[in-house]
Amino acid sequence: MEAFSLVPPQWTQSATHALEFCCPNCRAPSIEAQRVWINRRSPVMTEDYNKKWQEFYYCHCGTVWWAWSSDRPPSELAKRQKPPNL
């Protein structure tokens, strides 16, 4: 799987930094990307000692963009309520 390759794919070289976590050209969310690559070799440490990575996306519109993993919006799965304890 390309997403976890240690070597960056050729298509990542033309990536644009997206200021919002979506394609800067057509505004498609990351889930609609045709290709994904995560730069796990160069994590950045935040001021609160968490790690963040560059996530690269090849959008269906042909735009290549990247954003920080820490900028990713919360998952829909995280918003679900837990079942009550019995």
- Domain spans, the chain: 2-74
Distance separating alpha carbons of residues 16 and 56, to the nearest angstrom: 9
Rg for the chain, CA atoms, rounded: 15
Count the alpha carbons within 13 Å of 56 in the hemisphere toward its beta carbon: 22
Token pair recorded at residue 56: 């690269």
Distance separating alpha carbons of residues 8 and 22, to the nearest angstrom: 20
**pLDDT in single tens digits along all 86 residues of the chain:** 577 788 899 999 999 999 999 999 999 999 999 999 999 888 899 899 999 999 999 999 999 999 999 999 888 777 666 667 76
Paired with 38 in beta bridges are: 55
